[in-house]
Amino acid sequence: MSTNPLHVAPADGTGPGAPDARQLRTILIAVSIALMAVIASVSGLNVAQTKMAVDFDIAQNTVLWIINIYTLTLCALLLPLGAIGDRLGRKPMLVAGLVVFGVSSVVGALAPNAEMMLASRLVSGIGAAVIMPITLAVITSTFPEEQRGKAIGVWTGVAGGGGILGMFLSAFLVDVADWRWLFALPVALIVVALAMTLTSVPNSHERPAHSFDTVGALVSIVAVVGLTFCLQEGPERGWTEPATLISLVVGIVATVGFVAWELRRRDASLLDVRLFRARGLSGGSITLLVAFGVQAGIFVVLFPFFQAVFGWSGLLSAAALMPMAVTMMVATSLAPKMVVRIGPGPTMSAGIALTGVSLALMAMFVSVNGGYLSLLPGILVMGIGMGLSMVPSTEAITLSLPHEKQGVASALNDVTREFGTALGVAMIGAVLTTGYRDSMDDRLEGVPQETADIAREGVATAVEVSGSAGSHAQQVLDAAQQSYVDGWQQSMWTGFAVMGVLFVYIAFRGPKNAARTPAV
């Protein structure tokens, strides 16, 4: 049974004491700012890798661990902490998460060495794992049904476009100030979100009849850590390395164990896996997995494209992605209206189709000499497609679980997004790297072996080594840029094929419920 100790917002957002329109706006702004702080921190340090390595005198692998430990911790703890938030109260959990995240971010900004930075990022991941599921759970447990779709659209727009905005602001801070100022953005957002949460966000929690599923929580952590570690380290260490293979096996075994345990627990489970038989939960989860995977993969390969092929700075490269953020946020505001008119399944399918079209555009028209305009149509269409597909997918997941499990529903949504991100980066990055190296083999004839070997490692190293290649400098540079375009096209067509399979799946297995009737 739902409880409402503050008598502000019942679980369904209706009835006496429910927030009025102004209060709902304030609640939405508060949770959106909190979410923005978390999302901006996911990719913020990516733009400062070189500067961190120099300041701390550490190897690239350590730098990657400083970045990845945040995502790894976030993914691992989302489900357990989301469930705990349902039990202990969403407002106190959100406040605790904001405090932990804010303090750890300040420690990261002042960290004197890599060890302290690594610890601060790990603790930040814990705080983020509290914040992310609670922000969406507050929306689904507070907003009345007729307004919930719009609120989820705003949340989804922040979740999708916030990463791009955070990347741009981070690149700006690195260019005009010290890299440690990257932490100023999330800290400022946390302070504002904390003040608004304390004064405006209502509390809600559930009193389930069963004890907390501790075994399921622990097994889910092992499963997520194993699979995420494999996807993060596979491209760097190699897919056949013992550490990669062991983590993959551990992740798969733990996932199977988690499913078996949850089927045994039934009503007392952390996550009722039987619900995945429903079209809404399975279709929404798979769509988010693929959509965020494609988006993250595009980001990873776009930055080297802008910097190595076009010769742009990090700030200009981040600014080039802003049109995608803008169109995505516009699309997320339109998606709830489309869901009302035509239903979630068709809206989701339209978004998937447009995302596929965007990948085809970026595969067909990109060229070394085509410049940014050869990519811009695909970037714009991708923003629209992502926005239209993510909103009904998120809503399908939250509607598939009962009110007392909204923290778990929100956490499942977040785990799906983060795991899809890791999967997309690994897949698209691997395809592009293979295509690049295969193409380079045909373009380095006559180049000294040592120079050629360095150039094959990646487009950034190729551009760097071309300066010392003597008479072969232009050949190495041209080969690297054209080979990257070749690999890029292969990765885009791979993404297009994946979106095509997803489109067919959603057409046959997507949500089939009728379009919602707007409330009078």
pLDDT one-digit tens code per residue, 169-217: 777 877 777 888 888 888 999 999 999 999 888 887 776 667 788 888 8
Among residues 406, 65, 75, 401, the alpha carbon closest in space to that of 223 is found at 75
Distance of CA 242 to the CA centre of its chain: 27
Q: Where are the alpha helices (DSSP H) in 177-313?
A: 184-200, 214-237, 242-265, 279-304
> What pLDDT, in 10s, does the model give residues 384-408?
999 898 888 888 887 777 666 666 7
Kindly tell me the burial class for residue 332, based on how many C-beta atoms sit within 10 Å of its own C-beta (0-12, 13-18, 19 or more).
Answer: buried
Distance CA 387, CA 334 (A): 9
Distance CA 131, CA 93 (A): 8
pTM score of the predicted model? 0.78
What is residue 7's predicted lDDT score, i.e. its pLDDT? 37
What is residue 60's predicted lDDT score, i.e. its pLDDT? 64
What is residue 22's predicted lDDT score, i.e. its pLDDT? 82
Local confidence band at 94 (pLDDT 50, 70, 90 cut-offs): very high
> What pLDDT, in 10s, does the model give residues 431-486?
888 888 888 887 877 778 888 888 887 777 787 777 777 777 888 888 888 888 88
CA dihedral 150, 154, 155, 160 (to 10 degrees): 130
Distance CA 513, CA 396 (A): 10
Q: Where are the alpha helices (DSSP H) in 365-448?
A: 376-400, 406-441
Between 457 and 358, the higher pLDDT residue: 358
Which neighbouring-strand residues pair with 2?
206
Distance of CA 368 to the CA centre of its chain: 29
Neighbours of 303 (CB within 10 A): 21
What is residue 227's predicted lDDT score, i.e. its pLDDT? 86
Kindly tell me the burial class for residue 140, based on how many C-beta atoms sit within 10 Å of its own C-beta (0-12, 13-18, 19 or more).
Answer: buried
> What pLDDT, in 10s, does the model give residues 230-246?
877 776 677 788 888 99
What is residue 516's predicted lDDT score, i.e. its pLDDT? 43
Q: Which residue matches tokens 């375009």? A: 485
> What pLDDT, in 10s, does the model give residues 124-160?
999 999 998 888 888 888 888 778 888 888 888 887 7
Local confidence band at 4 (pLDDT 50, 70, 90 cut-offs): very low
User: Which backbone phi and psi does 295 adopt, to 5 degrees?
Assistant: -60, -45
**Angle of CA points 455, 457, 461, to nearest 5°:** 55
Least confident of 40-44, 145-149, 225-229: 40-44
Local confidence band at 353 (pLDDT 50, 70, 90 cut-offs): very high
What is residue 512's predicted lDDT score, i.e. its pLDDT? 67
What is residue 8's predicted lDDT score, i.e. its pLDDT? 40
Whether residue 363 is predicted with pLDDT greater than 70 in this model: the reply is yes
Distance CA 130, CA 115 (A): 23
Distance CA 100, CA 275 (A): 33
Local confidence band at 361 (pLDDT 50, 70, 90 cut-offs): very high
Over residues 96-122, mean pLDDT: 92
DSSP letters for 320-340: TTHHHHHHHHHHHHHHHHHHH
